[in-house]
Chains A and B, each alone.
Chain A
Amino acid sequence: MATPVPTKRRTPVHRPRLSLLRPLTVEEDDASLVRALRAAEPGAATRLYDRHVDAVYGFIFRLLGPDAELDDLVQEVFAYALSFIGKLREPAALQSWLMGIAVGRVRSYIRSRRRRRWLAFLPTNELPEPVVARDDVHAEVVREVCTILDRLPVDERIAVVVHRVEGMSLSESARACGTSVSTFKRRLARGESKFFALAERRPALASWLEGRSRHDAE
């Protein structure tokens, strides 16, 4: 069969060249993950865990310091999240919501831990194993910081960590702590003031406040 010869149309078509204007999104964001969780899609719970466990674990560690209950607290956060995913009002703010759950769990744990210590002296085998020091300076800093944090009221401790260490904004921090911004700012100011006052009395931390590392002279 002969190939037809192309001919021009009587009325030319004015169709502009188009270009893709929106970015190509092929992967799941937190909002889509929340939808998947609510729809009980297979694998959604695993994806939630895998995506956010490092952040939650690191956050709880920075709030609490070395503690034997870290793993259990992480599990409690995800168990709660999976059971009550329907309560999340803004699916895109999934990580902030998880951090808020973590704050609540840690707060409860610290208070119960303090009650236990007040009621009975802990036998030595219940204390967490010391962190194996990969670096003496860092291990010392962690020990000193945790010692100071343990002396702060729990809400002030949490305020200092979520805002100054985690880097959350004031509004994000207040939301994670379940309080107003003004209340959070008061707790933060008190917590920072006490922290620095105590830090000046700890040699490992005071050197940084003096503007040099204590190892500079070594």
Chain B
Amino acid sequence: MTLDERRNQLFRVWIESFEHQLPAFDRTRGRNRVLAEQRALEIRRERQRWFRGGFFVAAAFAVLALVIRLAWPHSTTFTVAGQPGEVGEWLATSATENLALDFSEGTHVALESGSRARVEQVSRRGARVEIERGSVKAHVTHRPDAGWRFAAGPFEVVVTGTNLEVNWDPEEGKFDLGVQRGSVIVREPNIDSPQEVRAGERCRVDLKKKTMELEQVTTSGQEASESANRPPPSAPDAVPLAQAARPGATDNPGRSLPQAPSWLALERSGNNEEAIAAAERSGISKIYQTAQADELLQLASAARLSGRADVERESLLACRKRFKGTPAAARAAYYLGRSSGAREAAQWFEAYIREQPSGVLTREAAGRLIESYQRAGNASAAQQAATRYLAAYPDGPHAALARQMLAR
């Protein structure tokens, strides 16, 4: 061995010895200390800000609210199977029935069987409908300033006056859009530029295969027949969009309401801290034992966004334990990796890749695996992960990191 080689050997022993001797670290206590100090600092700053200009800000808001109330046109309203609809409320249909949403400006949206969606926001120009899964058909009233959007996973469909059908399968990563009248714009972070889909065309995207296809399916009488099929809200012989029923729903014939504990409703409306508080009031241990897989993931998400790492971790571990082998359990492993220390994170990302070798998050997990091993100081494992990553994703977002690891 040359002198340099022996010196490098000593450094390797140094690194390995420190790795072995690294004392245990109480992350929870450390995190709580940091967050407590941060909150105290924010409170002090907030008090200073309030005393400086609080009264003037309050007065300005009062004037603005009055102006908006008097001068701004009213937002679009809607009904769900004839009953007044609520913005943000999740709507679900059973495997055999559909649900009709009718908007005040004339647009009609049908939630097909086996689907889940919500009206996320409304404005005077239209609304934004979020499709969690399944299929939605829409007849959007054409207006020059219409602003309708349909969101499905990472996809967004912008509509100005159209008949369309949107399908989204989050598990398979498949998006399917058919346009019968008018045209729409489809946006997705990985599409280089917004994609226009015109009447008579169908757009299919497969996120796993990373392909997008445009297919032409035109009919000479398509537009006329679609217009005839569009049911006016009060027509007694309208297309039978019967009442929907979700397992566990109440007897309310008006619409299918998600029978969820109050914490779930709060989470769905974006009130994460209140959702966690409500979950704890109702017995969070019971939720870990009885909630569905996707509900446990939602609880973990709410916990993460409200700074409750303990609840996030318990929710994800419960999902792993109770729904072993499912895609939800694999996603839980990924999220655990994202919120864990470097060494533990590597184990979780390995678990996700093992359980979902072709999953939607597999490439991200493979990249984060390299980072985890690197942070844990395990250079050899990081290099092995880097080699596997480059073999599978030579142009992936972590390719540069992988090459950097292998160059060392």
Question: Which chain A residues have a beta carbon within 8 Å of chain B's beta carbons?
Answer: 1, 4-9, 12-13, 15, 17-27, 40, 42-43, 45-47, 49-51, 53-55, 57-58, 61-62, 66, 70-71, 74-75, 78-79, 82-83, 131, 133-135, 137-139, 141-142, 145, 164-165, 167, 196, 199, 205, 208-211
Contacts and interface: CB of A to CB of B under 8 A. Distances in A.
Interface in B357-373: 360-361, 363-364, 368
A43 B305 contact: yes
Which of B42, B190, B340, B361 has the most C-beta atoms of chain A within 10 angstroms of its own C-beta?
B190
Interface residues on B, range: 35 or more
Interface string B11-39: 10111111111110111011101110110
Contacts of A15: 201, 214, 216
B137 interface: no
Given A15-B214, A50-B31, A53-B30, A26 B361 contact: yes
Interface in B190-214: 190-192, 195, 198, 200-201, 205, 207, 210-214
29 contacts: A1-B228, A4-B221, A7-B219, A12-B216, A13-B198, A18-B191, A23-B395, A24-B154, A24-B207, A26-B360, A27-B361, A42-B307, A49-B31, A51-B338, A53-B30, A53-B341, A54-B343, A70-B25, A74-B25, A138-B20, A138-B21, A139-B17, A145-B18, A164-B11, A205-B10, A208-B6, A208-B13, A210-B6, A211-B1
A72 to B, nearest CB: 9
Nearest to A12: B216
A46 B309 contact: yes
B65 interface: no
Interface string B226-254: 00110000000000000000000000000
Given A18-B214, A24-B207, A53-B27, A45 B41 contact: no
Given A8-B218, A138-B17, A141-B14, 16 more contacts: A1-B229, A4-B222, A19-B211, A25-B190, A25-B397, A45-B35, A47-B339, A51-B338, A62-B18, A74-B30, A145-B14, A145-B18, A208-B6, A208-B9, A209-B7, A211-B1
Contact of A1 (B14, B154, B225, B341): B225
A42 B338 CA distance: 17
A77 B26 CA distance: 16
Contacts of B37: 75, 79
Contacts of B198: 13
Contacts, number: 202
